[in-house]
Chains A and B, each alone.
Chain A
């Protein structure tokens, strides 16, 4: 194991500045880790070694003068494969986009590259971000680096596994219903789902537009804040992006939690949760109390409807978002059809995997004439209700603490044939997307099989600073 790959962004930035090692050496070290481990882990779909080394060389030779200023300059990262990278295959882990090369960069990729980031490659995921285990990748499964018999979570499985396996310093994932937080939790790393509208979605291949949000996966809370600092901000190409002044998330990250009120919602610690997870998260809450925070119990009765509302809204939007993948202009193209209707059917039947087709059908049904009011409209009503409940809860506390998932990472193949079980696992993560608010995930202890348990700190819109502050305090407890 290379010592180089054990460091954080913050440490690398310091070392690169002092020229302890070069960006090329650093990039090389990570590429070697990928070479050595990724056959087993399966975190990467595409590795862009040459491109990465060339960019690293440019950094070392100071060809790129602007990028030097950024803390991310010269440091290797990787991007989930549903975020468009100009000239680099972007597949969404789908046969449908198996050879698709975008002609433009996503806004976040543009920002990273301008900051001098070195992109190592594109990361494995559940097809079109639909799934909780990365077993739905059309190309290969991804394994949990902490126990390769277990799933890394999903859909950003590759994003979390690569950070845990030190195959990248940090990564970007996307979170529609927990897709950053749950794999971060399963792999024992730090993940942030930012406030909806704070990170541009331009170039993120949409799953559910009203829920999707890009966020960082890192090994520490400070690193996470550093990456979010770079990718956050208004973008005129995204009409849902919010114009405001985005603060420096590291500014008061060391200020602690003294005097903060932390809500513990009973509904997040109910029947479905396993004991090890419950114990670890409540212990973390207790730790906060000893740090001077006040614990208050809060109630969110509508949370029970969140999961149903989530599956209706996300599937409905997905059915429309994924309709463009028809094989006419780009993407997978089948053989043997007599007319255009048959072509559409055959191409989409062959190009999409089972889970994707299931959700498209679910969503199509929910939007159909005669069912719209009963499903989609009702789901939107639940959404307003949940938003209202969060608003009320945040009048009583600064943020909420909860588990991310009801269990630690489970065995590969364990739930893949039981959709309902799998969907139930999203119960604690989806309310955050439904409300459009931020949530930070970080490890808070160990559970069954010595696997990490992740806790989730949920705050009101644009409270990322507070969440990072609380996350940092916990991570550095006792130091």
Chain B
């Protein structure tokens, strides 16, 4: 694997985001996810003969907001084009998209990785309609669900500025956060509301021209994006090193195997025959329109991050974690009104709450109770394992932790004399562990701590206990 170090990967990402407008892009059908097949359709989104599309203005507004939030230039004049191809999930046999004059162009966003911060360019953002879904059934064969036909999408195309899987993931997370903050999409990945295509090529380090790229379509999670990138990078380098040639093609990423497979080459690719849709007049925006939309966007993640770090003294990492969902940051600030142990609150968020939240922020615990829990810990009244235990219970059924700590006598034992006596007792019956410890086995110390903790029903102040134990050993 020495050779692989001589190469760098060049990645550009195309992200499709479903906008959370109430109605579809060209008709007034609802966009709600998960309805019974073909119940959210009308002649327009079914593409029946004779129907005409009428653009939902909200779609333009949302797309412009996405553009403004990612520092794009907004077009005062843009148009919609037809992308022609045959597929059973596309009722008109063309997708209304934007070709040469997208709504937003030339933006960027900043990402943070271990190597510091980096600017990733955004080539363009355009609006388009989603296609339907094919449902395969053993008994009835292939069926078409048109509920998704005409659900509004924006496609965000990055510059080929990304050089590693880590950067790609950082970009996706940052983009997702920005979109969430702009209030234009819920970005629910399990509903396909935030999907990513990866364009990847490799080149020898120092080389300026790009290699031939491949495209991996519709990858839903950051973890799979990282896997696909690592695999495809290796595959391309190995192909080149063994004298092969990279073919420009679309490849499918298989989540089961973590590998990519060739789907179709450029030679077999469609000629989409883009042309301006004659049913739709151009989209025109004035400076005032754009300014108004700009004023509607709330605080964006970068601004808020500065605020969190400054006001609450949080680390960049903790701030970023809180910012992955605006609702979570809002909740944090609500809790912070009732306690001054900000760092402790942030820790509970980054460990406990994140563990319990898989998609989208949700916390059933009242902000006041959450603040009390942090204060109990900050004032050294309870220890971390009690925090964990109490939080788990509060999640199931919210309560005032101060009352419960008192009622259930959960306060930690800080008294050095009491704890020292316990240490002495433990050591009396732990000859083997003491020998192990002295022979350098680190695990033995943990075992001794565990025993001592057990004698206090988990209520010992762990810091004091460890100090006393070390003294005796």
- The interface of chain A, by Cβ under 8 A from chain B, is 83-84, 90, 92, 97, 100, 102-104, 106, 201-206, 208-210, 236-240, 316-317, 319-320, 323-326, 328-330, 340, 344, 364, 367-369, 372, 376
Residues of the B chain whose Cβ atoms lie less than 8 Å from the Cβ of A369: 271, 273
* A238, A320, A340, most chain B CB atoms within 10 A: A320
Contact of A320 among B49, B53, B275 (CB under 8 A): B275
B257-315 residues with Cβ-Cβ distance < 8 A to A are 271, 273-275, 278-281
Contact of B52 among A202, A329, A367 (CB under 8 A): A202
B107-126 residues with Cβ-Cβ distance < 8 A to A are none
* Complex CA–CA separation, A194 to B53 (angstroms): 22
Residues of the B chain whose Cβ atoms lie less than 8 Å from the Cβ of A324: 47, 49, 91-93
Residues of the A chain whose Cβ atoms lie less than 8 Å from the Cβ of B55: 239
Within the complex, the shortest CB–CB distance from B128 to chain A, in Å, comes to 16
Contact of A202 among B46, B50, B94 (CB under 8 A): B50
Q: Is the CB of B49 within 8 A of A84?
A: yes
Within the complex, the shortest CB–CB distance from A177 to chain B, in Å, comes to 15
Residues of the B chain whose Cβ atoms lie less than 8 Å from the Cβ of A206: 50, 279
Q: Is the CB of B50 within 8 A of A106?
A: yes
Contact of A368 with B43 at beta-carbon distance under 8 Å, contacts A202-B51, A239-B53 already known: no
Residue on A nearest B146 in the bound complex, by CB: A329
* Complex CA–CA separation, A165 to B119 (angstroms): 74
Q: Is the CB of A340 within 8 A of B273?
A: no
Within the complex, the shortest CB–CB distance from A69 to chain B, in Å, comes to 28
* Complex CA–CA separation, A64 to B95 (angstroms): 42
9 A-B pairs closest in CB distance: A323-B93, A210-B278, A367-B273, A209-B278, A205-B49, A203-B50, A84-B50, A205-B50, A239-B54
Residues of the A chain whose Cβ atoms lie less than 8 Å from the Cβ of B275: 316-317, 320, 367, 372, 376
Main SS of chain B's interface residues?
loop
* Complex CA–CA separation, A202 to B49 (angstroms): 10
Q: Is the CB of B92 within 8 A of A323?
A: yes
Residue on A nearest B272 in the bound complex, by CB: A369
Contact of A102 with B48 at beta-carbon distance under 8 Å, contacts A317-B278, A367-B275 already known: yes
Residues of the B chain whose Cβ atoms lie less than 8 Å from the Cβ of A368: 271, 273
The answer to whether the Cβ of B220 comes within 8 Å of any Cβ in the partner chain is no
* Complex CA–CA separation, A340 to B87 (angstroms): 9
| Total number of B residues with any Cβ neighbor in A under 8 Å | 28
* Complex CA–CA separation, A209 to B273 (angstroms): 17
Q: Is the CB of A239 within 8 A of B91?
A: no
Residues of the A chain whose Cβ atoms lie less than 8 Å from the Cβ of B148: none
Within the complex, the shortest CB–CB distance from B149 to chain A, in Å, comes to 11
Q: Is the CB of A328 within 8 A of B273?
A: no
* Complex CA–CA separation, A92 to B50 (angstroms): 11
Within the complex, the shortest CB–CB distance from B391 to chain A, in Å, comes to 53
Q: Is the CB of B52 within 8 A of A320?
A: no
Q: Is the CB of B271 within 8 A of A320?
A: no
Within the complex, the shortest CB–CB distance from A86 to chain B, in Å, comes to 10
The answer to whether the Cβ of B33 comes within 8 Å of any Cβ in the partner chain is no
Residue on B nearest A105 in the bound complex, by CB: B50
Residues of the B chain whose Cβ atoms lie less than 8 Å from the Cβ of A239: 52-55, 279-281
* Complex CA–CA separation, A323 to B93 (angstroms): 6
* Complex CA–CA separation, A325 to B92 (angstroms): 8
- Chosen A-B contacts, 11 in total, with CB atoms closer than 8 Å, are A97-B49, A205-B50, A240-B52, A240-B279, A240-B280, A320-B82, A320-B94, A324-B47, A325-B49, A328-B144, A329-B91
Interface string of B416-448 (1 = CB under 8 A from A): 000000000000000000000000000000000
Contact of A102 with B50 at beta-carbon distance under 8 Å, contacts A326-B86, A329-B144, A364-B273 already known: yes
The answer to whether the Cβ of B84 comes within 8 Å of any Cβ in the partner chain is yes
Residues of the A chain whose Cβ atoms lie less than 8 Å from the Cβ of B43: 102-104
The answer to whether the Cβ of B88 comes within 8 Å of any Cβ in the partner chain is yes
* Complex CA–CA separation, A106 to B49 (angstroms): 10
Residues of the B chain whose Cβ atoms lie less than 8 Å from the Cβ of A203: 50-51
